Amino acid sequence: MDGKVIVVTSGKGGVGKTTITASIGAALAVQGKRVAIVDMDIGLRNLDVVMGLENRIVFNIVDIIQGKCKIKQAAIKDRRIDNLFLIPASQSDDKDVIKPENMVWLTNKLRKEFDITLLDCPAGIEQGFKNSIAAADEALVVCTPEVSAVRDADRIIGLLYAQSITPKLIVNRIVPKMVENGDMLSHEDVVDVLSIDLIGLIEMDEKVVVATNTGTPLILQEDSKAGMALQRIAMRLDGHPDLPVENPMIQKSFWKKLGSKFSRKN
Amino acid sequence: MKFNTLLKKLMNKNESKDIAKKRLKFALLTDKLEIKADTLADLQRDLVEVISRYFEIDRDSIQIDIKRSEESSALIFNTPIISAISARSGREIPAA
């Protein structure tokens, strides 16, 4: 059976797409799937350093498309997780060297070899975005609870619908304390504005920085809240669509819990 | 509702996330109404063509504009009419 192709996109840059793509890919591979992660950001590759595979790059996606190598030669096997492969972006080429039809060709080949192919889409709505969505069956839209990120997500969602893709939403970098104080949009607010289905909520987590520093998979970090949220997103993508979405909460002391019990009537 | 939130509400203090949500909704609304620069010009040309079948109009004093308010948006088309073109004046109104 052919594998599926999922694009991870956001519109706005710096909302956590690359980390989320790498982590979901790692989690899916740990769950037993054969996974390829493709860095679609030609000229500005990043996924290789996030995954800690930057020293192993020989060929890249442009080499595959130009027929200079086979997919097997370009796909880098992860150091720690079996069945997880990275197809790196080219750092020197112009982003216009790849066309949407090249991506359709490439992903059709990847579908034969991998259960799931994740495309890490670059920020923006230009060539890299068009290439990524041309080949995708499903889409995950990432946004943070900020006005700018939600606005860009809305634009991206519109463009995905135009391609007959119904995306699912990930809200990243939630700070529960700020949400409680009314100083950050809650995930309910974001869902209300964007009106699409939620697939996961990820709390702001310093462990993400540590994982990226060392190039180790976030999901293998011990008690990382973001890592656990990402594992649950991977489960929802792979056979457990009804796994409930957990709402990030503040760890409360006894007195605060008592206080919130009394004020709950409103 | 949490105690802090309740306190803020009682003190009539606006939560910043409410401002964020309101601004966001308005931005998305206006984003969807945004049109390309030549769309209005194309529309004006087509409108003039249609109206000219029925009325003689002053093509130079036509105004076309989109008016936006927080509640709604409206397309405003304003043209002075010089005279009606009747069937008797020799010009035929084309069948639909």
Query: How does pLDDT run across B21-58, given as a tens digit for each residue?
Result: 999 998 998 888 777 778 888 888 899 999 999 999 88
Mean pLDDT of chain B: 80
Q: What is the pLDDT of residue B93?
A: 54
Judging contacts by C-beta atoms under 8 Å, the chain A residues touching residue B34 are: none
DSSP symbol at B85: -
Whole-model pTM? 0.82
| Residue A251 structural domain | 4-262
Q: What is the pLDDT of residue B66?
A: 82
Range list of H helices, chain A: 17-30, 47-50, 61-65, 71-74, 100-113, 127-134, 147-162, 176-180, 187-194, 207-214, 225-237, 254-262
Residue A242 burial by Cβ neighbours in a 10 Å radius (0-12, 13-18, 19+): exposed
**Mean pLDDT for the stretch of residues B8-33:** 83
Q: Checking DSSP bridges between strand A198-203 and strand A168-174, what pairing results, if any?
A: parallel
Of the candidates A135, A88, A87, A129, the one whose C-alpha atom is nearest the C-alpha of residue A111 is: A135
Sign of CA dihedral A25, A165, A96, A10: negative
Q: How far apart are CA A184 and CA A174, in angstroms?
A: 8
Candidate from A155, A182, A193 with C-beta closest to B24: A193
Query: How far does the CA of residue A151 sit from the closest CA of chain B (Å)?
Result: 7
Verify whether the Cβ–Cβ distance B17 to A155 is below 8 Å.
Answer: no
Verify whether the Cβ–Cβ distance A151 to B28 is below 8 Å.
Answer: yes
Judging contacts by C-beta atoms under 8 Å, the chain A residues touching residue B9 are: none
Burial annotation B37-60 (CB, 10 A radius, 16+ → b, else e)? eeeeeeebeeeeeebeeeeebeee
Helix/strand number for chain A, H first, E second: 12, 8
Q: What is the pLDDT of residue A242?
A: 93
Q: How far apart are CA A239 and CA A216, in angstroms?
A: 26
Residues B2, A258 contacting (CB under 8 angstroms) = no
Candidate from A185, A264, A266 with C-beta closest to B20: A185
Q: What is the pLDDT of residue A265?
A: 44
Q: How far apart are CA A19 and CA A6, in angstroms?
A: 15
Side chain identity at residue B36, one-letter code:
K
Q: What is the CATH number of the domain that holds A226?
A: 3.40.50.300
Residue A209 burial by Cβ neighbours in a 10 Å radius (0-12, 13-18, 19+): exposed
> Which residues of chain A have a pLDDT value below 70?
252-266
Q: What is the pLDDT of residue A266?
A: 43
Q: What is the pLDDT of residue B4?
A: 65
Of the candidates A43, A48, A106, A114, the one whose C-alpha atom is nearest the C-alpha of residue A78 is: A48
Alpha carbon B46 to its chain centroid, in Å, reads 17
Helix/strand number for chain B, H first, E second: 3, 4
> Is the model's pLDDT at B72 over the cut of 80?
no
Q: What is the pLDDT of residue B81?
A: 87
Domain locations in chain B? 1-34, 35-86
Query: How far does the CA of residue A127 sit from the closest CA of chain B (Å)?
Result: 20
**Mean pLDDT for the stretch of residues B14-19:** 89
Q: How far apart are CA A133 and CA A216, in angstroms?
A: 28
How many CB pairs (< 8 A) connect A and B? 54
Verify whether the Cβ–Cβ distance B17 to A179 is below 8 Å.
Answer: yes
Domain count, chain A: 1
Query: How far does the CA of residue A199 sit from the closest CA of chain B (Å)?
Result: 21
Judging contacts by C-beta atoms under 8 Å, the chain A residues touching residue B22 are: none
Q: What is the pLDDT of residue A252?
A: 64
